[in-house]
């Protein structure tokens, strides 16, 4: 649908920068016994699980570390208490808003009937269960949740990519946008930023009451995308002070880029397993949602995004956060999945769903970003290269940034430099290897 034009009349003459490998060292806990900790937390609420009760365990569409193991452990403990657990997809409009598509998305995340030892019950049917009186927002819940004897809400708590507030991405979100399926997600997002920041917590309280949420299992990750904390909380704590406390803890453990200002950020890949917006807005410092304040840091002049993960199933929501992209990325886009997600997400989805300038190759996208960043001095222009916004423990920085990096105690800079590498077809070289797969 979109093809990069012939740009032979405009030569991109900028040289590629010399890059240095940098390791960032972040501090934070790592949970060693994930299954044991999960079962221990569920046992705190054993009294809520009645013998023979059918218990829905939510599973979202995000790439959460150890999520299949966590869900399986919850199910095992529910069975140990006499309950009959099953997995319920809770991901709004993702998977093209189809029951089959949502099962496929879970499989991409490693959540299957085999890995969890539970049946997955996927159905997009919903019922309106209430209204947020203050604004008239209708609240929806999946028929699957309403038919169950109880629901256990499971999600990672972290800063949201669309707004800032006391309650952001986590338990309240999975209740309203996840359990609410496509209609619930669209209802919340149709109110723009206030729908998320102000009305979503109130809607979550209605979902908790009407779907008989028993309790929630909150997951917090450290800066290396590792499970740091698992804590079960009361149903009444969802969208309340306790969830805010968890958000504060999660915010303190997040990774970040080491510089407040950058000329160019090169990102190898974006995708739904990486962030709901493909690229985490908290990492790149761009909100780009009318009504939401922009981040104080980092300030990045140009962003080039080069590829889309296969696990995104063609959904490139958030692509508009970048300034340049590539032909190979747009050729992977399923515009039905893309548009459904953007339209369901309301004003933020539409504004950040716009397609940036499409360049024929990776090297052309990177050179275009450098040439137009507003810093013409090649020995000064600052470039950072990362695999994606989920894995920034190891990054590459241009030689112009080395002195700044050496002033930061949490950075280990390789003194040997190398030119930013591309193959003969203009595709960026994979320089990350096992480091990315290991969460570093």
pLDDT digits (tens, 9 = 90+) for 396-427: 999 999 999 999 999 999 999 999 999 999 99
What is the model's pLDDT at position 260? 95
Does residue 440 carry a pLDDT above 70?
no
How many angstroms separate the first and last alpha carbons of the chain?
36
CATH T-level assignment (fold) for domain 34-253 = Rossmann fold (3.40.50)
Please name which of 399, 431, 396, 394 lies closest in space to residue 410, comparing C-alpha atoms: 394
Please name which of 69, 51, 111 lies closest in space to residue 87, comparing C-alpha atoms: 111
Task: Name the pLDDT band for 438 (thresholds 50, 70, 90).
Answer: very low
- Neighbour-count burial of 114, counting CB atoms closer than 10 A to its CB (0-12 exposed, 13-18 middle, 19+ buried): exposed
What is the model's pLDDT at position 289? 82
Buried b (16+ CB within 10 A) or exposed e, 21-53: bbebeeebeebeebbebbbebbeebeebbeeeb
DSSP string, 187-229: HHHTTHHHIIIIIHHHHHHHHHHHTTEEEEEEEEE-TTS-EEE
What is the model's pLDDT at position 435? 54
Does residue 1 carry a pLDDT above 70?
no
Does residue 70 carry a pLDDT above 60?
yes
> Using an 8 Å Cβ cutoff, are 54 and 149 in contact?
yes
Q: Residues near 54 by Cβ (< 8 Å), separated by ≥ 6?
A: 83, 84, 85, 86, 147, 148, 149, 150
Q: What H or E segment, with its residue span, contains residue 100? A: helix 99-108
Predicted TM-score (pTM) of the model is 0.82
What average pLDDT does this structure show over 29-49? 97
> Using an 8 Å Cβ cutoff, are 187 and 122 in contact?
no
Q: What is the DSSP letter of 411?
A: E
Q: Give the integer Cα–Cα distance in Å for 329 and 271.
A: 11
Question: Which residue is associated with the tokens 């595709």?
Answer: 427
Task: Name the pLDDT band for 437 (thresholds 50, 70, 90).
Answer: very low
3-state secondary structure at position 143: helix
The domain segmentation of the chain, as residue ranges, is 18-26+256-437, 34-253
Question: Which residue is associated with the tokens 């009349």?
Answer: 9
137-142 and 126-132 strand pairing: antiparallel
């Amino acid at each position: 649908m979109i093809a990069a034009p012939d740009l032979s009349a405009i030569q991109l003459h900028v040289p590629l920068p010399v890059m240095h490998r940098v390791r960032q060292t972040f501090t934070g806990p790592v949970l060693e016994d994930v299954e044991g900790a999960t079962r221990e937390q569920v046992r705190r609420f054993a009294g809520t699980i009645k013998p023979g009760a059918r218990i829905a365990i939510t599973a979202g569409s995000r790439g959460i570390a150890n999520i299949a193991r966590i869900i399986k452990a919850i199910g095992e403990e529910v069975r140990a208490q006499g309950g009959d657990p099953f997995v319920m997809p809770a991901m709004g409009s993702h998977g093209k808003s189809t029951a089959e598509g949502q099962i496929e998305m879970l499989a991409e995340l490693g959540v299957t009937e085999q890995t969890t030892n539970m049946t997955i019950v996927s159905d997009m049917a919903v019922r309106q269960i209430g209204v947020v009186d203050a604004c008239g927002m209708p609240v929806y819940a999946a028929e699957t949740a309403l038919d169950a004897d109880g629901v256990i809400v499971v999600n990672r708590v972290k800063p949201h990519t669309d707004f800032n507030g006391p309650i952001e991405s986590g338990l309240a979100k999975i209740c309203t946008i996840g359990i609410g399926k496509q209609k619930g997600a669209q209802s919340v997002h149709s109110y723009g930023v206030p729908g998320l920041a102000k009305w979503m917590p109130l809607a979550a309280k209605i979902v908790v009451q009407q779907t008989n949420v028993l309790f929630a299992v909150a997951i917090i990750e450290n800066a290396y995308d590792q499970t740091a904390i698992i804590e079960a909380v009361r149903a009444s704590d969802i969208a309340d002070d306790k969830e805010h406390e968890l958000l504060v803890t999660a915010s303190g453990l997040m990774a970040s880029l080491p510089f407040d200002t950058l000329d160019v950020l090169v990102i190898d890949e974006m995708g739904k397993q990486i962030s709901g917006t493909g690229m985490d807005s908290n990492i790149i410092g761009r909100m780009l949602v009318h009504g939401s304040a922009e981040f104080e840091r980092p300030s990045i002049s140009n962003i080039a995004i080069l590829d889309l993960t296969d696990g995104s199933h063609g959904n490139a929501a958030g692509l508009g956060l970048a300034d340049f992209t590539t032909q190979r990325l747009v050729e992977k886009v399923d515009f039905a999945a893309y548009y459904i997600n953007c339209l369901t997400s309301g004003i933020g989805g539409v504004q950040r769903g716009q397609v940036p300038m499409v360049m024929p190759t990776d090297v052309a996208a990177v050179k275009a970003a450098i040439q137009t960043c507003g810093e013409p001095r090649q020995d000064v222009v600052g470039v950072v290269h990362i695999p994606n916004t989920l894995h920034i423990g190891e990054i590459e920085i241009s030689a112009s940034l080395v002195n700044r990096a050496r002033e930061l105690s949490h950075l280990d800079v390789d003194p040997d430099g190398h030119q930013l590498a591309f193959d003969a077809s203009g595709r960026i070289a994979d320089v990350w290897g096992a480091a990315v797969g290991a969460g570093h």
